[in-house]
């Protein structure tokens, strides 16, 4: 059964994974954009080579927090497993139908056929505590996960899609990806944006008065009332 959305797939880990993925992607983008600018390259091949670093960055960050790893054949990429779902970060090519063509290599096809790891009773991670008053129940969620792992033959895939150019990180979205075996295309469930540049690309100086605007309100000095004018008064 394919989860209807990334939050449904990742459960209680959703917000932490979202935050971690955004931090990793923006950091990696900044470094490659900087490298592109410094190199003065006319071409974007160097910039595009970040795709493998994206995979490794996110895997390493999640691994550091205790999540398990699935090694994807035949290329052997290490993918993190969160709540018995694979998380794959992909920088989307520029062509219009690119997202649905994700499964364009044997390795990427295999991501849809990854068998669940051996069940564990407790999912690792750095949170897991439900909000006070929440209907979420840790024991219940773990039980559901164990049952799902036992019944499903493959792990769901949460696909993180990054769109960027050397000039700008344009968007980060994610969705649960499902392969249409007959058509060879990928369908998305619960696709949503997890980062957009709008909040930070708006000209930050337009609404702000510069430090030197207006007339300085300097110190006010007044004559002392009780003192005479003679130095020794």
Partner 1 sequence: MRELPPGLFELPRASKVQGAFESARLTQARVRAGKNKADLAREVGVSAAAIGQYESGVNAPRADVLDRLAEALGVRPDFFAVGRPIARIDAVNAHFRSLRSARVSDRQRALATAALLWELTFTLERYVRLPDANLPQIKARMSPSDGAALLRMHWGLADGPVKHLVATAEAHGVVIAVRPLGEIDAVDAFSAIIVDRPIVVTTPRRSENVFRHRFSIAHEIGHLLLHSDSDGHSATVEKEADEFAAAFLTPAASMDVALPQRLDIAALDRLGRTWGVSPHSLVRRMVERGRTTESSARRAYQRLSAVADPTADPTRSYPGEVPTLLRKAAELAADYGVGAPALAEAMKISPGLVRDLLGEKDERPSLRLVSGNR
The total of other beta-carbon atoms located within 10 Å of residue 126's CB is 12
CB 195, min distance to partner 1, A: 11
The Cα-based distances of 11 to 39, 98, 196, 213 in angstroms read 42, 28, 23, 51
Q: Which of 2, 8, 23, 44: binder of partner 1 (CB under 8 A)?
A: 23
Residues 61-90 that bind partner 1 (CB under 8 A): none
Pairwise CA distance, residues 204 & 192, whole Å: 26
CB 37, min distance to partner 1, A: 8
Segment lying near partner 1 (by CB under 8 A), choices 72-80, 154-162, 181-189, 224-232: 224-232
Pairwise CA distance, residues 193 & 34, whole Å: 25
Pairwise CA distance, residues 29 & 133, whole Å: 38
150 binds partner 1 (CB under 8 A): no
CB 219, min distance to partner 1, A: 4
Pairwise CA distance, residues 50 & 156, whole Å: 25
Smallest CA-to-CA distance from 179 within 68, 88, 87, 101 is with 101
153 binds partner 1 (CB under 8 A): no
CB 171, min distance to partner 1, A: 12
40 binds partner 1 (CB under 8 A): no
151 binds partner 1 (CB under 8 A): no
* Residues in a beta bridge with 179: 186
96 binds partner 1 (CB under 8 A): no
Smallest CA-to-CA distance from 35 within 43, 79, 62 is with 43
Smallest CA-to-CA distance from 20 within 70, 82, 62 is with 62
Q: Which of 169, 172, 175, 194: binder of partner 1 (CB under 8 A)?
A: 169
Residues 179-208 that bind partner 1 (CB under 8 A): 197, 199-201, 204-205, 208
Residues binding partner 1 (CB under 8 A): 23, 26-27, 29-31, 33-34, 37-38, 168-169, 197, 199-201, 204-205, 208-214, 216-224, 227, 229-233
């Amino acid at each position: 059964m394919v989860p209807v959305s990334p939050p449904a797939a990742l459960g209680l880990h959703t917000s932490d994974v979202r935050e971690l993925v955004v931090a990793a992607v923006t950091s990696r983008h900044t470094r490659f954009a900087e490298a592109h600018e410094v190199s003065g390259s006319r071409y974007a091949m160097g910039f595009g080579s970040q795709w493998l670093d994206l995979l490794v960055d996110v895997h390493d960050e999640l691994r550091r927090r205790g999540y398990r790893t699935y090694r994807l054949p035949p290329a052997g990429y290490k993918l993190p497993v969160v709540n018995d779902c694979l998380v794959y970060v992909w920088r989307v090519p520029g062509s219009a139908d690119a997202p649905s063509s994700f499964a364009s290599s044997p390795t990427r096809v295999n991501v849809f056929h990854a068998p669940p790891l051996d069940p564990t009773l407790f999912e690792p991670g750095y949170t897991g505590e439900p909000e006070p008053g929440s209907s979420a129940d840790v024991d219940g969620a773990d039980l559901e996960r164990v049952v799902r792992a036992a019944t499903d033959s493959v792990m769901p895939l949460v696909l993180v899609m990054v769109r960027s150019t050397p000039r700008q990180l344009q968007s980060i979205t994610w969705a649960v990806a499902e392969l249409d075996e007959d058509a060879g295309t990928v369908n998305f469930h619960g696709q949503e944006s997890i980062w957009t540049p709008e909040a930070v690309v708006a000209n930050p100086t337009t609404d702000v008065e510069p430090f030197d605007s207006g007339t300085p309100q300097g110190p006010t000095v007044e004559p002392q009332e009780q003192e005479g004018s003679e130095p020794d008064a």
